[in-house]
């Protein structure tokens, strides 16, 4: 099973989760790159406004060929109750090349249902597995078990395919 993890991370939380999942699955990780300044309070507000408006923004071409992988795991922070604009742009651009998808979010709160519905709409796929890791999960260290369960779910869903 060849797995590629695509993620966007403004603060570093999503990157650290992507790296953790990558180690557990022996997966390749790649960050979606845009050229917006998202640092500081102003970057926080700009990012939230873009996500809320469901903007598609320019992103760099990926280094990895998605078609060479069995599964693409996509990770995004939640901004203003929505997926990040760089990940939305990635999904719109590469949706036809994604063989199977799993998804994880990092957020301040638990409500990510609309994000998963939007992923299904954009990709026309039901994700193999999804997980939302909140700031509270990270503070309490419960995210470690959650990541393990996510990885186990992915392995179980893919071994039958």
Among residues 58, 155, 21, 26, the alpha carbon closest in space to that of 100 is found at 155
* pLDDT tens-place string over residues 11-28: 888 999 999 999 999 999
Given the DSSP bridges, would you call strands 71-79 and 3-7 parallel, antiparallel or unpaired? parallel
pLDDT category of residue 131 using cuts at 50, 70 and 90: very high
| Domain boundaries defined on the chain | 3-159
Length in residues, the chain: 161
Token pair in block for residue 117: 């519905």
Question: Taking the domain 3-159, which CATH number applies?
Answer: 3.40.50.360
* pLDDT tens-place string over residues 70-129: 999 999 999 888 999 999 999 999 999 999 999 999 987 767 778 888 999 999 999 999
- Read off the pTM: 0.92
CB 93 within 8 A of CB 66: no
């Amino acid at each position: 099973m060849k797995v590629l993890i695509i993620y966007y991370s403004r603060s570093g939380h999503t990157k650290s989760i992507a790296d953790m999942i990558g180690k557990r699955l022996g997966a390749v990780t790649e960050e979606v790159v845009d050229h917006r300044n998202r640092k500081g309070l102003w970057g926080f507000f700009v990012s939230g406004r873009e996500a809320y408006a469901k903007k598609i923004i320019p992103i760099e071409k990926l280094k990895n060929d998605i078609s060479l992988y069995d599964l693409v795991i996509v990770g995004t922070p939640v901004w203003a109750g929505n997926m990040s604009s760089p990940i939305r742009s990635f999904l719109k651009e590469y949706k036809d090349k994604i063989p199977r998808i799993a998804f994880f979010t990092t957020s301040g709160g638990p409500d990510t249902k609309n994000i998963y519905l939007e992923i299904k709409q954009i990709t026309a796929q039901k994700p193999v597995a999804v997980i939302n890791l909140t700031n509270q999960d990270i503070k309490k260290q419960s995210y470690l078990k959650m990541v393990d369960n996510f990885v186990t779910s992915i392995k179980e869903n893919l071994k039958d395919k």
